[in-house]
Amino acid sequence: MLDVRRLRVLREVATHGSFSAAAEALSYTQSAVSQQIAALEREAGARLVERSARGVKLTDAGRALVGHTDAILARLADAEEELQAINGLRGGRLRLAAFPSACATLMPLAVATFRERHPGVDLSLCPAEPDDGLTLLRAGEVDVALSIEATFAPPRTDAADLEALPLLDDPMYIMLPREHPLAGRSRLKLVDLADESWMIGTAATCPDTSIFMRACQVAGFEPTIAFNLDDYNAIQGFVAAGMGVSFIPDLALINVRDDVVIRSFGSGRSPVRRIIALTLADSYRSPAKQAMLDVLVEVAGEFGARRTELALAS
């Protein structure tokens, strides 16, 4: 392997035509220059310079090597400049994944804030359900993935490779058709809806589904599941059509239909889901990644402070 520092010495010898002039340009001793050239010749396995009374000139091998040296040093300078830009948040890239309701609420604010502060970083966002985002994260295709966990669930045994940063506790509400007999109440007890048909998510591992099932269990009934749907906009449509009722998290209240109503729980603490930012535990935390995590915490805090009450008074 050729030593880049010795290549630089060879280039100075070629430029100045003597060891002494190259030594002066590099602030080396002439002996040090001579030693560097001798070591480079051993690495190259070829004679690189010829000395004469008229100075030093390059051999064919030396000229070939100097021809490549300029390109090598230029690329190294570019690499150093790019690294400095990345470390200074003036360059680099950051890839994000987030589930739909976070894409519609937290992520626009986070991305806008990040870009205002660090316009040189290339950001990309991939909409992905929590399990899909986790797959992308573990495959190295994204750097940060927003996900959901149930606040009552024990730590996952398969998550030793993950680092979770809590962002926000997202409360659940009850969604009813506007013409439902209980729609006139501002608050509802879950047990009052024990005989209703329900719309919930499809995946058995979906945190929203586990939160719903746990709440029904605590209320003392086994829910009747009419349809399994993962899209809260689709769930709203089925609720509006009178096919049943559903839970809906606060983050999904960004877009509420006129023909449904959203009601709070009547007593006790509402079921909540926790929004978290996942990274790989042993991955390099670049300045851009850390800056985005800081922004997510900031935005989530602001969002929680002005928690929307959309549709609760309708």
Out of 105-114, 128-137, 140-149, 157-166, least confident range: 157-166
Helix axes 4-16, 19-26, angle to 10 degrees: 120
- pLDDT score of 260 more than 80: yes
- Residue 9 is assigned to a structural domain of this protein: yes
Which of 32, 60, 87 represents a domain boundary (last residue)?
Answer: 87
24-37 pLDDT, tens per residue?
988 899 899 899 99
**What is the pLDDT, as a whole number, of residue 206?**
76
> 116 and 249: one domain?
yes
268-290 pLDDT, tens per residue?
678 999 999 999 988 788 889 99
> What does the pLDDT average to over 202-223?
85
Is residue 77 within 8 A of residue 83, CB to CB? The reply is no
CA–CA dist 248, 260 (Å, integer):
12
- pLDDT score of 251 more than 50: yes
Band (pLDDT 50/70/90 cuts) for residue 179 is very high
Band (pLDDT 50/70/90 cuts) for residue 144 is very high
- Residue 313 is assigned to a structural domain of this protein: no
Give the domain range for residue 112. Answer: 93-305
**What is the pLDDT, as a whole number, of residue 314?**
40
Secondary structure of the chain in HEC code, one letter for each residue: CCCHHHHHHHHHHHHHCCHHHHHHHHCCCHHHHHHHHHHHHHHHCCCCEEEECCEEEECHHHHHHHHHHHHHHHHHHHHHHHHHHHHCCCCCEEEEEECHHHHCCHHHHHHHHHHHHCCCCEEEEEECCHHHHHHHHHCCCCCEEEEEEECCCCCCCCCCCEEEEEEEEEEEEEEEECCCCCCCCCEECHHHHCCCEEEECCCCCCHHHHHHHHHHHHHCCCCEEEEECCCHHHHHHHHHCCCCEEEEEHHHHHCCCCCEEEEEECCCCCCEEEEEEEEECCCCCCHHHHHHHHHHHHHHHHHHHCCCCCCCCC
> What does the pLDDT average to over 93-116?
94
Band (pLDDT 50/70/90 cuts) for residue 153 is low
- Residue 297 is assigned to a structural domain of this protein: yes
- What CATH number did the domain enclosing 194 receive? 3.40.190.290
CA–CA dist 144, 134 (Å, integer):
9
- Residue 150 is assigned to a structural domain of this protein: yes
Question: Which residue is it, tokens 């280039």?
Answer: 11
- pLDDT score of 311 more than 50: no
- pLDDT score of 242 more than 90: yes
**What is the pLDDT, as a whole number, of residue 80?**
77
- Residue 142 is assigned to a structural domain of this protein: yes
Which of 26, 59, 87 represents a domain boundary (last residue)?
Answer: 87
Band (pLDDT 50/70/90 cuts) for residue 123 is very high
> 274 and 132: one domain?
yes
For residue 10, the one-letter residue type is: L
Q: How many C-beta atoms surround the C-beta of residue 91 within 10 A? A: 17
CA–CA dist 93, 118 (Å, integer):
11
**What is the pLDDT, as a whole number, of residue 158?**
66
> What does the pLDDT average to over 244-250?
94
CA–CA dist 41, 109 (Å, integer):
58
> 36 and 124: one domain?
no
- pLDDT score of 247 more than 90: yes
Band (pLDDT 50/70/90 cuts) for residue 125 is very high
**What is the pLDDT, as a whole number, of residue 76?**
81
> 120 and 258: one domain?
yes
Band (pLDDT 50/70/90 cuts) for residue 16 is confident
**What is the pLDDT, as a whole number, of residue 155?**
60
- Residue 78 is assigned to a structural domain of this protein: yes
**What is the pLDDT, as a whole number, of residue 290?**
93
- Residue 310 is assigned to a structural domain of this protein: no
Which of 87, 106, 141 represents a domain boundary (last residue)?
Answer: 87
> 119 and 207: one domain?
yes
Q: What is the mean pLDDT of the chain?
A: 87
**How many folded domains does the chain comprise?**
2
> What does the pLDDT average to over 294-310?
81
> 281 and 254: one domain?
yes
- Residue 12 is assigned to a structural domain of this protein: yes
> 214 and 288: one domain?
yes
Q: How many C-beta atoms surround the C-beta of residue 68 within 10 A? A: 11
- pLDDT score of 312 more than 50: no
Rounded to 5°, the CA angle 126-132-134 comes to: 95
